[in-house]
Structure 1
Amino acid sequence: MTLKIPIRDMVKMVGSLRYQQGIDIVESMKTSKRETLVDEKIYVAVSVKDLENKSTLVWAIQNSGGKDFCIVHVHQPIQISVPGEMFHDQKVRLYRKDKEKAHKNLEKYLHICRQMQVTAEIIYIEMDTVEEGILQLISQCRVTKLVMGAAADRHYSMRMRNLQSKKAIYIHREAPVTCQIWFTCNGYLICSREAGRTENLYLESASPISLRQSEITRVNESAPSYSMVKNDDGIKVIVTEAENSKRKARFEASKRDEAEKSAVDALKKAKQWETVYFEELKRRKEIDKALREVKGDIEKMRSEYEIQIAESDMVIRKLKDKYTLSMEALRKLREEQEELKIELREVSKLKSKNEEEEASPSNHREPPQYFICPITQDIMEDPHVAADGFTYEGEAIRSWFERGHETSPMINKRLPHTTLVPNLALRSAIQEWLQVPESLNRSCDSH
């Protein structure tokens, strides 16, 4: 009598696997002697695609210090869809071919272990997802030490510090706390998760695990024939497809329910948004009306400001004109003030001179009239002849010209030029007259 095991509970523990004429031959089978204790083997999760996890296995052997390893591979059966009469047989052949390829690649991992002189066995699991297979293995085999990849080796970089593989992230989060896990990439340790101190975590599941291990032993000891294995493989394919179909149906039903729920929610939201839209439209109309009123007020204020600015500009121009006229009048007033000051000084000189003459009439002597400057009315010290032919004191006539006068002081006519010529003869005569004593001058005058 052959005991049939469901696919999800089938875990084959094989030391060295060979595939010959479609029959799995078990070379060695190791079972736990103490079912309630935790197995201290080091489990290494690998992929059979081009020895992707070779660096993970090598790191585990070199750095763990252990000598007993379990190479774990969770195989995801391929989805086969073949129409026609040969539907069943062709599915079985494709399934067996995929399985044979996986076993051959696992043999390469065993060869690496032999080369590195450690003992190893293979655990081959068929399951839809790798994460569920590894978690089930940890739970059933009470794994306490696990090494797996943090990411594919091609994604490794020197700055890599976090897990990148979704499988590694899921295992890191969901694995039991009693399992210590190392995550490597390209032969380097990326991170690790230490095991927690919990006792008897697996005691409740001890009996089911023992039963499954005994069931596995019976299956392998029964040594089924080729036809039986073929039928079992066909049943496995059919059951797998049935489970996949059931899962897809549940997934589609849940998606349909979610879609209907989303449609109802979307309809409610659409109504809410429609209400919000009309309210917003009404509010915008009110805002537009208020903006138009404000805009009209602003235009009115702008026109008033423009009128005020024009009036202010006119007032400013008038003030500027008045300022210019005032400055011109002030300039003329200052010129007249300067002229008055000069005349006042001359009057003061004449007054003082007259007072001196009146105070000492005996000492006074009258100079000749041509010795007197027409401007200062004093005896000239530096006589100069102007363009009108008259002789003036040099300083006085120059001051006359500097004040802007261009006319003759004597005849009040415009002079052709302002060039002055020294009257040397007159100056000599004045100097001689001043040096001669008054008595001689009087005698000369009497003669």
Structure 2
Amino acid sequence: MMEDSDGPDTVVNNRVYVAVGRDVRESKSTLSWALENFGGDFRIIHVHRPHRLNPSTRPSYGSGSRNPQELARQEMDSILDEYIHVCNQAEVRAEKRFIEMLDIGRGIVELIEQHAITKLVMGAAADRRHFEGMTQLTSKKAKFVNQHAHPSCSIWFVCNGHLIYSSEGDLDTFHMDITPSVLQGSSVDESGLQNVRSPFGSVHSSSNSSEVEDDLASVRYERGERSNCISESNSMRAYGMLKALEDIYNGQLRVRKDLEESLAIEKEAFKELKNQYEELEMLYDDALKANSELLANQTSEPSSAHGQNFISEFSWYELEEATHSFDPSLKIEVGEYGRTYKGLLHHMQVAIKIPHRCNYRKEVQLATKSRHPNLVTLIGVSPVASALIYEYLPNGSLEDQLSARDTSNHLSWQTRIRICADICAALMFLHSYHGIVHGDLKPGNILLDSNFAAKITNFGLHSAPSHSPTAGELSFASDVYSFGNVLLRLLTGRSALDLDEVMQNELDAGNLGALLDPTAGHWSLEQATELAHLALSCCNIDSDNRPDLGTQVWPVLERMRTRCEASSYSRSGPEEPSQPPHHFICPISCEIMQDPHVAADGFTYEASEIRRWLSSRNASPMTNRPLSTLDLFPNQTLRSMIQEWLQNH
């Protein structure tokens, strides 16, 4: 555009300039972005880095040899022609410009000055450096250009075809005067631009037309109200001074960066030591607090309904002795709930669990208040070691049994139905009596005693259900869904994620037998079908449509278990009745209990037998340790289960 004034005409260059490199594949995405977002004439600009030759070893070139500099320029010219070809394919008029300079960033800044560029597109970084959400310049030359380009120049920085950052120029700072002496004897195209040669390098054009190129012969920039025209020698001198100051500044930056990196390393090391100290301090405080709470519960709250708070306390030395200093060969499990070791504590096999520190107090509280034949029994704690001592169950977990390769000792289908009933009874107890949601019911958290009675563990420790079909808060319905998955595992022996869909398809096709686990023996198809329908109802995707454990699930499983036991009794004959579960047996008399009571050691005994025992001593029959109280508490739940079993046998 032209402005009428008393002074020379002011011309603003509105062409789009795209800075490209030698790697066409790398810079093509930048050029493509510019072609898609701008119209009009284009100029392809490039900074050519000349070869550096040592004067003492500079070769001589005969008539038949070619100068490497000339060869490099020819190669560069060929590369720029490829960019021009891309523009021609997009039906956009384009020409090429280049400057020779060792520093690419300075070369681009020089081209901006020479051509009075107001619209520039260039790379923000190499395309391979691009990452999603990238908003900052990472290339040194891009940062340099952004910092040193004339303020009138708007710059769009692109990476991998994406606009990363833009700098809007201020055209109020731009004034370009073309003096009459320059205009004499030369033609000027519609933008008023003319061909020049830079004092720092060469500017070339690929145009074969007769019109004058857009290089500027005389450019004067005004910044604010002051306008200066500096001679070439003064410019070079000023440039040298600026370069020296810049080198000093960069050296100081490097020193500062090194100091900052050293300081960051020291801070990180200090932070790590502080975290370790705080963790040890919290562990110590938790152990002291848990110990105090347990002692307070044992002395001031002895009236719990089932003797829930009466547990033994063990020292670190006792645990080390029981596990042979935590011998790795005695390690039962290492997982998300901590480490568990098999040990011999006071002549009794136990499982010593060292949970994660954040779960210790919570697990102690849950285990002490939740006593049930189908929950793993807590024998004692060790506050100093933050450990819990549980009864040892010799047949491992249900996962171990279902995954066992030894087919000679697999769970029979009758045993699997009894396991289903055991799990249901434990869940009903947790839900109804204590309002506890297990949160991670799976075969790995279901343990089996010597008679393959099921006992669940690790309940109430998860913040969200592991097997819920949709993310959500803990609920009884999520436990029901997980229970349905366990039933499907027991039926099929498989662990596929879509097992409910597979089961539904086989039921619809009348082909359930092909899906049943053959290692369980010859299934009763009637009971297997009933159990499959029950499992699928528990796995209903709509939590509101899942069955209630007490009113809908338990009656079905109890009836199925009774059939299994009746069948076993029928096959064995009246002289050989099936054996009662071991937890129905009094540890003192070794007979089925009629009136089970819980003592202060947490074990259940026949009332008359434990009273006779305590009449002459105050130590536990199981642990031989002193009891904190001689009070006994009736175990009504176990009594009901024993009576039901006796009625069926």
TM-score clears 0.5: no
More helix by share: 1
TM-score, with length taken from structure 2:
0.27
Q: TM-score, normalised by structure 1?
A: 0.38
Higher CA-based Rg: 1
